[in-house]
Structure 1
Amino acid sequence: MALRAILASPGGDGASLAERLRQAAVTLLLEPGRALLDRAGSSVFRVQGVKDRTGYGIVTVNGTSLSLSEQWFNSEHLPDPLLLGGHTGHSGQPYPACVGGASCLDSDLLTWRKVAFPTRPRVGDLLVYPNTAGYQMDSNESPFHELPLPPKVVIDRLDDAGRPRWRLDR
């Protein structure tokens, strides 16, 4: 929609950008990049420990801030992680906590802000960050960090019954 509006908009001479491109015999090629990955992918981390502080906690997970490349830009664009675990229910009081990585660096935080978890996370629980495929596409395609590349689940087509087929892409 936005591209269509831009191409249809008139310039100073009244001709649209699309008309000007046609007149100049310019072929416009676009690569949507991360836009193709909107609402795709999740990053899942197992809780390794929880440290209680006054008024909040620090949840440590089996990953690092390098696991979420957007953190390199010193920003907080990720949605709050979802807490999945063997225990259910709500303690009545949210448990505010930031999420730290497994390295020994003070700066290794996946989520700097305090997330209000519905209950205190436990060792073995999973933190699921939804919609992270766009963040992952750069760092996880490169072995620069000398860690094994994580497996990816690829849904590539429907089977004969119309159900999605998936495979691990290594």
Structure 2
Amino acid sequence: MAGADALAALLATRPENTDSTLADLIRDAGLELLLEPGRALLDQAGATVFRIQGVKDRDGYQLLTVDGTSLSLSEQWFNSEYLPDPQLIPQEQDAPTGVFPASVGAATCLESDMLTWRKIPFAHPPRVGDLLLYPNTAGYQMDSNESPFHDLPLPPKVVIDHIDRPRPRWRLDRHFT
């Protein structure tokens, strides 16, 4: 449960030893509840995509390198509690299936430049040229720490607009180029 539904469920909760909801208790106490919605406003609004540029076999797993840095996924860099598992988008539609664990490293020479230290169980073997899609990364995660480290270009920002009225279908934010 996320967003407004999560808040509604929380406020409808009845704390132990009371018949009142949390919303009633807050109101009866004369308190004003202020919220900073943060990530909830951008729920499912963005994704981060990296191309796999290297695959190394390790003892029981693979280490992937991608065409980005850990700064492209800020919360990975901050060791956050929010760590989305990337989805593998293989180039070959007939790729073998199974469990193929891999960690994801980034494109710099720093050993700490990892996007995903955990071993992610992919359903297909990751290969050079495949894509890794990190879902739901718009809220506080996409690019707050990006820099052109090692002269790597900043990832493009693309907006896909699903509104029916006439407007551009995409735009590149010139601020980030």
Decide: shared fold, TM above 0.5: yes
CA distance in 1, matches of 2:162, 2:45: 14
CA distance in 1, matches of 2:160, 2:98: 38
Whether the aligned pair in 1 keeps the contact of 2:73 and 2:143 (CA below 8 Å) is no
Whether the aligned pair in 2 keeps the contact of 1:96 and 1:114 (CA below 8 Å) is yes
How does the TM-score come out when normalised to structure 1?
Answer: 0.74
Q: 1:8 to 1:156 in 2, by over 3 A?
A: farther
Whether the aligned pair in 2 keeps the contact of 1:159 and 1:165 (CA below 8 Å) is no
Structure 1 vs Structure 2: percent identity of aligned residues? 54
1:16 aligns with 2:28: yes
1:102 aligns with 2:107: yes
CA distance in 1, matches of 2:106, 2:66: 5
Cα distance, 1:91 vs structure 2? 2.3
Deviations 1:108-128 (A, max 9, x none): 110111111122211111100
> Which residue pairs with 2:92 in the alignment?
87
Secondary structure of 2:170's counterpart equals: strand
1:42 aligns with 2:51: no
CA distance in 1, matches of 2:128, 2:113: 19
Q: 1:152 to 1:35 in 2, by over 3 A?
A: same
How does the TM-score come out when normalised to structure 2?
Answer: 0.71
- Greater shift, 71-80 or 115-124, is seen at 71-80
> Which residue pairs with 2:170 in the alignment?
167
CA distance in 2, matches of 1:52, 1:32: 42
Indicate the RMSD between aligned Cα atoms, in angstroms: 2.9
Query: Where in structure 2 are there 5+ consecutive unaligned residues?
Result: 1-7, 13-20
Higher strand proportion = 1
Secondary structure of 1:136's counterpart equals: coil
Alignment length (residue pairs) = 153
